[in-house]
Amino acid sequence: MNISATELKQQAHLLNSVKNEDIIVTKRSKPFAVIIDYEKYQKMLQELNSKKIEKKLNALESLNSFNLGGKDYSQIKSEAEI
């Protein structure tokens, strides 16, 4: 649903429809805000976090494929402690 900020102020009861659909609030015919259901917002955050975790795991997995000068990580670490 698209609604102007003025209309939303005058007809606050329209917020009752948030569970059924997202509300896009416009100001001077430009998008100003998006109002979504809290549960949908939480789901979006979970998806975003899972994508971030997946990216980090893929990055770590790709690091495993690099050759560290013939030495593995534990060897390099033990030499650094000496």
Together in a domain, 44 and 19: no
Task: Kindly tell me if the per-residue pLDDT of 52 is higher than 70.
Answer: yes
For residue 71, give every residue at least 6 positions away whose Cβ sits within 8 Å of its Cβ, in sequence order, or none. 79
Together in a domain, 75 and 49: yes
Together in a domain, 43 and 67: yes
Range(s) of the domain holding residue 27: 2-36
* Domain tally, the chain: 2
Together in a domain, 45 and 14: no
The pLDDT tens digits for 6-44 are 888 788 887 887 888 888 888 888 888 888 889 999 999
Together in a domain, 19 and 47: no
